[in-house]
Structure 1
């Protein structure tokens, strides 16, 4: 069934659309609004993740307390995944919407997102592999190298995000 709008209904719909555009930075179809506290929240997550990651080494592995390693890695993994959800939903979707008219920058943002997904997969696999209360001989031999590789990738990524990518986020 078709509904025919009177002049008043059409005017009301236009006003609502204008209000929604104003709330969304003038962009039609924007689904994620700017959050002035988002970048500080994401940086806070980074700080928390670094602290947990360091504790995996100092409180767990160095003391050969593999229960502690497993517990801290489970905490790290869940905190990391919560951060990724926040970043994917609130940050990347907003940037992709706001950069829709700038195909070059939009591609850079998409490349960052893809790269982060690759890093995330490696981090989750690392956490799953070493979230055991007993390590095999092979796990003992591999842990240090794997820990350092993951740490380097995360350090590089956090630095790049905070120095370059987060500067693109604005109303």
Structure 2
């Protein structure tokens, strides 16, 4: 299975996330809020496309594999991703405008670090555990 598109999507999401993480801790956070919020919304779109690709190609491939290890990974990763996806959707709904972020910058910073740690951890696990099994 060709996973190059999935890897590219991971890189795009993490580049956008890293911009956000690098700028929420700076003294110029309010000056960068337009771009930060734009990145939050762009990540939302990229994650939706990524999840559609996983649902349409990756998980069916894993579930139809004669390899029971791949079957198990497919079930595990599909279920886990539902939780990560829901958490990101909640985060996005809470912070998808500059005004929403400005209402509580401290909470935004904490939530941002938490959600991107979860997303980064998930991506790392896919890249290190799952993708090597796919070639």
TM-score for both structures, normalised by structure 1: 0.68
- Kept in 2: contact 1:69–1:130 (CA 8 A): no
Q: Give the distance between the partners of 2:101 and 2:120, measured in 1 at CA.
A: 28
Q: Are 2:35 and 1:71 equivalent residues in the alignment?
A: no
Larger radius of gyration: 1
TM-score, length of structure 2 as denominator length = 0.84
- Does structure 1 conserve the Cα–Cα contact (< 8 Å) formed by 2:94 and 2:100? no
Aligned residues: CA RMSD: 2.2
Structure number with greater CO (CA < 8 Å, separation at least 6) is 2
Which aligned runs of 4 or more in structure 1 are off by greater than 3 angstroms?
57-62, 135-138
Unpaired stretches in structure 2, ≥5 consecutive residues: none
2:86 alignment counterpart: 121
Aligned-partner Cα distance in 2 for 1:44–1:140: 31
Match for residue 148 of structure 1 among 98, 103, 113: 113
User: How many Å separate the matches in 2 of 1:145 and 1:60?
Assistant: 10
- Specify every segment of 5 or more residues in structure 1 that has no aligned partner in the other structure, as ranges: 1-34
Q: Structure 1 residues 136 and 60, CA, compared in 2 at 3 Å: closer, same or farther?
A: closer
Relative to its length, the structure with more helix (as a share) is 2
May I ask how many residue pairs the two structures share in their alignment? 132
- Structure 1 match to 2:124: 159
The answer to whether the Cα contact below 8 Å between 1:59 and 1:68 also exists between their aligned partners in 2 is no
